[in-house]
Structure 1
Amino acid sequence: MNVTAPEKETADVNAIALKAYARIAERWGLSVRDAALLADMSESTWKRARKPGFSGELTRDQLLRLSAMIGIYKSLDLYFSEPLSREWMTRTNSGPLFGGVRPVDSAIEGGLPQILNIRTYLDALRGGA
């Protein structure tokens, strides 16, 4: 079976996004369960997806989630110094967006809309808006 150029590009984007997200999940110290839920995958799918050569397809929602998580990581890395930049997602947060829970739990509970809210929040902090 021949792979068309758009299919190859999609596979390449998926592989890059999964590799980046796997590194982020590791740096943040996320459990397999949390990393899978953030990516909207089952734990078994996430375990397969984080390994090189994963041939499964990502849904549009999953790709948006991974993209937003990469943006969140970048914002945290630019805005905070270590160790806070690595711990921020897994520390309880009393801000109005989080209500005393960890941002990662808020993102899991709220799905893609909350993940995007967190990204916007961090971008605003970083930009001074």
Structure 2
Amino acid sequence: MNTLPTAAADIALHTTHDAEERDGLTAALTRVALDWGLTNDEAAALAGVAPRTWSRIKDGTFRGTLGQDQMMRASLLIGIYTGLRALIDGPLTHNWPKTVNAGFEDHTPVAMMIEGGIPAMLMIRNHIDALQGDA
């Protein structure tokens, strides 16, 4: 079962990282949150950080480190985002994560991931991969 691309899995195993890596990862997370129309609270919950930390990430002033859990979350969210872009062409690419989905017990994928954490993110990532025929 392919849950993460190799590079993303490698990133997720590190608990410390250099400033360039951190800045690239947080910029990608900010792009995901913006494109998906996430609130600050939703983005913070998905990233596994406090809302104040998310605010610093979003405005580019975050200089801390991300722990293993946060790196894994970032890798999964970026993978889901990339998978959706490859799978869907058009507005649904960005709307799908906040659209109620019968396959997710009439919840949005975002709500499922906030409530279920990394296991739910893995499930959704695998779902996207399966729709692409990669699973």
TM-score tier, shorter chain, comes to 0.7 to 0.9
- TM-score by length of structure 2 reads 0.83
Asked if the contact 1:89/1:102 (under 8 Å) is kept, the reply is: yes
Distance of 1:99 and 1:34 partners within structure 2? 19
Instruction: Give the corresponding residue for 1:111.
Output: 117
State the alpha-carbon separation in 2 of the partners of residues 125 and 45 from structure 1: 34
Cα deviation code 1:28-76 (max 9, x no counterpart): 1011110000001111110012232421110111011011101000111
Bigger Rg, structure 1 or 2: 1
- Conserved 8 A contact 1:49-1:56: no
Find the aligned partners of 1:30 and 1:118 in 2 and give their Cα distance: 17
Amino acid at match of 1:105: A
Q: TM-score, normalised by structure 1?
A: 0.87
The reply to whether residue 87 of structure 1 matches residue 95 of structure 2 is yes
The runs of 5 or more residues in structure 1 that have no matched partner are: 1-7
Within 5 A, what are the aligned runs for 1:15-26? 15-26=23-34
Matched to 1:14, the amino acid is: R
- Check conservation: 2:76, 2:122, Cα contact below 8 A: yes
Structure 2 unaligned blocks of 5 or more: 1-15
Aligned-residue sequence identity (percent) comes to 39
How far has the Cα of 1:9 moved from its partner?
4.9
Aligned mates of 2:72, 2:120 — CA distance in 1: 12
Any residues of structure 2 matched to 1:66-81 within 5 Å, and which? 66-81=74-89
Deviation at residue 115 of structure 1 after TM alignment: 0.5
Query: Which has the higher relative contact order, 1 or 2, with Cα contacts under 8 A spaced 6 or more apart?
Result: 2
